[in-house]
């Protein structure tokens, strides 16, 4: 085959890979399944195990593939770090620190011991595999979180863990690899790690400062500044990676991550344009790398692992991951269900796949090959874990979340004072995804220190509301001490975001009519206080029980949507409800009444259930849709 023919075939192949990547993204959006699942299937389809149109030799010299993968990883890591905002880090700081230190150590040691025991690997190889499988990675976690809208603090913790562990795992793995191939002593490990991490941090900081300085103080082009800003930022990512990697192999990953983190939090001009551009570029790069690496997967390597390989996957997924998550989140505000979700959704991604491929090529290319058996064990184990975790944990993430009931409705509360804080506590105890918006810096820091998800900003600013998630919010509560602010928030929520339920606090009873004229549910502070005092005087038992709503007891209103309930009498349904749950009210055509046993339910009726919290939740799942 001539050089022109080879070049033409490669061009067609690259076009096909990009096309499959775009189709995978479209299928992901259509079926609400993480895109990595479709990318891996596409790669296997065109690889040696499928149609056989793509192999390592397709890229010419074997040295070309590591370069392509390396640059792609640089862009992917830079993109992930760029989106890692300091605001997000503050949402779950203790959990993130523990997951990336204690949790990473458990994953590393536990996986290494498991590989050594079940697969008979040397300690050097076992530790290297353990280091690679520490990384969950934003490339697989972020697509999952796009289709599984879990509570903000859960998403922030998983994304941050993935970004940090991607960097540390890649550097640690290359240190172990260099130590293994160069016969380094244990005393050299720390030096190798420090050299790469330190070089990456230094280069990343320098490049970020240069890019920031140019964007801030240089007129890059009055005619098309946004485009040049996008190109300069992308070039900065590649330059940071290439420079650091030239000094020390794999230091480039740390450099790209450092530059991305700094620039993402530097308030760059044209930031929205840069983010949109980088997102599209990263999407194409991610698709290309995932499909390419999956195409190079050799099923013989996987089958050769036998039962030992299956044991490694099971222990990594069902023993080590839950252990490190529960230990790392001990004492935090995460619920048991959220901890279980984090335990069962920890797929491995592009970093272990790409680095393992690079190592395998280096182990096989010298004459004679350095360690071909080790290369097969390395690639086989890493890809087996990636394949199973992506398919099971990524492909069924939404089903896992629904089974564990960790997909809450989003509630925005504007005002983090005593009222907003107390309401947030009650809603979170019931499992809702609550985001507080607070302008006062001291109050904001206290809320975050106490584990609440809180955003800084003015609640009357449309962009602040949008950033906090108003477009996906089901309920917006204006709970500040200023009625003018609450009125404006209510208007914005209705006119700009079409929120289903808007509730406003009326501090001055005379303002309640103005809120109600807008169709806003209004709570008068004075009347609510009087009502609460009256309850304590006249109905002390009910008052005490009401104070426990959302904790030990609950009252929920649902809409009858199940055809099995339509036409049934209350007396028939009472026997089917969980123990202790009562139907307190039936609302129909705007009229609410305490039902008699012979009342028949109709579609669209609203039923008010009262009972213990867990029993009420079970009843909701049986009877209908929460209002």
Give the best-scoring range by mean pLDDT among 285-299, 302-316, 539-553. Answer: 302-316
Q: pLDDT tier at 212 (50, 70, 90 boundaries)?
A: very high
Question: Which residues lie below 8 Å from residue 11, measured CB to CB, with a gap of 6+?
Answer: none
Calpha distance 46→17 (Å, rounded): 9
**7 confidence band (pLDDT: 50, 70, 90):** low
User: Which is more confident, 174 or 587?
Assistant: 587
Q: Judge if pTM exceeds 0.85.
A: no
SS (H, E, C) 221-288: CCCCHHHHHHHHHHHHHHHHHHHHHHHCCCHHHHHHHHHHHHHHCCCCCCHHHHHHHHHHHHHHHHHH
Mean pLDDT over 449-470 rounds to 84
Most confident of 167-181, 221-235, 523-537: 221-235
pLDDT at 566 over 70: yes
CA distances from 446 to 275, 414, 441, 469 (A): 31, 16, 9, 21
Q: What is the mean pLDDT of residues 225-233?
A: 83
The whole-number average pLDDT for the span 341-369 is 74
Average pLDDT of the residues in 471-485: 86
Report whether pLDDT(69) > 80. Answer: no
Q: How far apart are CA 423 and CA 191, in angstroms?
A: 52
pLDDT at position 92: 59
Residues shown for the chain: 627
pLDDT of residue 334: 83
- 346-350, 420-424, 539-543, 585-589: range with lowest mean pLDDT: 539-543
616 pLDDT more than 50 = yes
Count of CB atoms situated within 10 Å of the CB of 285: 22
Residue 369 has what pLDDT? 47
Of the pLDDT bands very low, low, confident and very high (cuts 50, 70, 90), residue 105 is: very high
Do the beta carbons of residue 461 and residue 399 sit within 8 Å? no
**Backbone CA torsion sign across 140, 143, 147, 150:** positive
Q: What is the pLDDT of residue 176?
A: 77
| Among 83, 86, 378, residue whose Cα is nearest residue 260 | 83
Q: What proportion of the chain, given as a percentage, has pLDDT over 90?
A: 11
- Per-residue confidence (pLDDT) for residue 204, from 0 to 100: 92
Domains and CATH numbers, the chain: 3-41+71-404 (1.20.1530.20), 410-538 (3.40.50.720), 552-626 (3.30.70.1450)
Confidence band for 429, pLDDT divided at 50, 70 and 90: confident
pLDDT of 76 higher than 70: yes
Contact between 135 and 351 under an 8 Å Cβ cutoff? The reply is yes
C-alpha–C-alpha distance, residues 617 and 457, integer Å:
34
| pLDDT on residue 449 | 78
Is pLDDT at 297 greater than 90 in this prediction? no
From CA 484, how far away is CA 506, in angstroms rounded? 9
Question: Pick the residue with more confidence: 620 or 40?
Answer: 40
Output 114 or 248, whichever has higher pLDDT.
Answer: 114
**What element of type H or E holds 124?**
helix 123-132
pLDDT band for position 49 (50/70/90)? confident
The two three-digit tokens of residue 178, written as one number? 């260099």
294, 44 Cβ separation under 8 angstroms: yes
Is-contact 152 95, C-beta < 8 A?
no
Mean of the pLDDT values across residues 11-38?
Answer: 77
- Decide if pLDDT at 549 tops 70: no
Q: What number is the average pLDDT over the span 234-255?
A: 86
Indicate if the pLDDT at residue 411 is higher than 60. yes
In contact, 356 and 379? CB cutoff 8 Å = yes
**pLDDT band of 110, cuts 50, 70, 90:** very high
Q: Would you state the structure tokens that stand for residue 50, as one six-digit string? A: 């499928």
**Nearest Cα residue to 250 out of 395, 128, 80, 401:** 128
Whole-angstrom Cα distance, residue 504 to residue 521?
Answer: 6
Q: For residue 49, give the 3-state DSSP assignment.
A: coil
Residue 32 scores a pLDDT above 70: no
Crossing angle of helices 251-264 and 64-82, rounded to 10°: 30
Q: What percent of the chain has pLDDT over 70?
A: 84
Cβ count near 32 (within 10 Å): 11
Q: Kindly report the average pLDDT of the chain as a whole number.
A: 79
Answer with the residue of higher pLDDT: 559 or 580: 559
Per-residue confidence at 552, pLDDT binned at 50, 70, 90? low
Place of tokens 């590591």: 66
pLDDT at position 532 over 80: no
- pLDDT of 324 above 70: yes
d(CA 512, CA 522): 6
Using CA atoms, how far apart are residues 285 and 18, in angstroms rounded to an integer? 9
153-203 pLDDT, tens per residue? 788 888 888 878 877 787 778 777 776 766 666 666 677 778 888 898 999
């Amino acid at each position: 085959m001539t050089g022109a023919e080879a070049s033409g075939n490669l061009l067609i192949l690259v076009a096909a890979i990009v096309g499959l990547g775009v189709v995978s993204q479209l299928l992901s959006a259509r079926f609400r399944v993480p895109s990595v699942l479709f990318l891996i299937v596409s790669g296997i389809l065109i690889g040696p195990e499928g149609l056989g149109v793509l192999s390592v030799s397709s890229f010419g010299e074997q040295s070309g593939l590591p370069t392509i993968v390396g640059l792609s990883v640089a862009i992917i890591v830079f993109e992930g770090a760029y989106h890692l905002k300091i605001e997000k880090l503050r949402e779950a700081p203790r959990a993130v620190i523990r997951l990336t230190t204690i949790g990473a150590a458990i994953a590393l040691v536990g996986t290494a011991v498991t590989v050594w025991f079940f697969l008979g690997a040397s300690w050097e190889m076992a530790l290297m595999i353990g280091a690679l499988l520490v990384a969950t990675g934003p490339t697989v976690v972020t697509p999952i979180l796009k289709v599984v809208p879990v509570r903000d603090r859960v998403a922030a913790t998983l994304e941050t863990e993935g970004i940090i562990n991607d960097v540390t795992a890649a550097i640690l793995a290359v240190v172990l690899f260099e130590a293994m191939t160069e016969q380094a002593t244990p005393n050299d490990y720390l030096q190798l790690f420090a050299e790469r991490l330190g070089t990456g941090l230094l280069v990343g900081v320098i490049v970020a400062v240069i890019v920031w300085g140019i964007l801030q103080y240089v007129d890059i082009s009055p005619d098309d500044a946004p485009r040049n800003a996008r190109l300069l930022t992308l070039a900065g990512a590649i330059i940071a990676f290439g420079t650091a990697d030239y000094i020390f192999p794999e230091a480039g990953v740390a450099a790209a991550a450092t530059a991305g983190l700094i620039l993402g939090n530097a308030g760059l001009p044209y930031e929205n344009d840069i983010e949109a551009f980088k997102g599209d570029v990263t999407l194409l790069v991610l698709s290309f790398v995932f499909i390419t690496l999956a195409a190079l997967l050799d099923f013989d390597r996987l089958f050769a692992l036998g039962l030992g390989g299956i044991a490694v996957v099971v222990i990594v997924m069902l023993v080590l991951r839950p252990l490190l998550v529960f230990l790392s989140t001990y004492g935090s505000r995460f619920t048991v269900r959220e901890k279980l979700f984090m335990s069962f959704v920890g797929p491995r991604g592009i970093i272990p796949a790409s680095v393992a491929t690079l190592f395998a090529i280096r182990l096989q290319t010298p004459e004679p090959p350095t360690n071909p058996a080790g290369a097969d064990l390395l690639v086989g184990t890493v890809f087996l874990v990636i394949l199973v975790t992506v398919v099971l944990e990524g492909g069924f993430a939404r089903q896992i979340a629904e089974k564990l009931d960790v997909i809450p409705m989003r509630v925005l509360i504007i005002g983090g004072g005593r009222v907003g804080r107390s309401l947030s506590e009650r809603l979170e105890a019931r499992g809702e995804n609550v985001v507080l918006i607070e302008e006062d810096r001291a109050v904001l820091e206290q809320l975050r220190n106490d584990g609440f998800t809180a955003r800084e900003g003015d609640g009357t600013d449309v962009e602040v509301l949008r950033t906090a998630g108003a477009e996906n919010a089901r309920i917006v509560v204006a709970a500040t001490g200023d009625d003018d602010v609450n009125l404006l928030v209510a208007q914005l929520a209705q006119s700009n975001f079409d929120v289903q339920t808007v509730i406003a606090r009326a501090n001055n009873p005379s303002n309640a009519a103005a809120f109600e004229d807008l169709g806003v549910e209004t709570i008068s502070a004075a009347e609510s206080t009087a009502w609460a005092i009256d309850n304590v005087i006249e109905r002390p038992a009910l008052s005490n029980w009401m104070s426990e709503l959302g904790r030990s007891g609950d009252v929920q209103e649902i809409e009858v949507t199940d055809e099995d309930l339509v036409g049934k009498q209350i007396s028939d349904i009472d026997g089917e409800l969980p123990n202790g749950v009562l139907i307190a009210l039936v609302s129909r055509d705007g009229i609410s009444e305490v039902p008699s046993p012979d009342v028949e339910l109709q579609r669209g009726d609203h039923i008010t259930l009262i009972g213990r919290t867990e029993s009420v939740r079970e009843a909701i799942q049986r009877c209908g849709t929460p209002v």
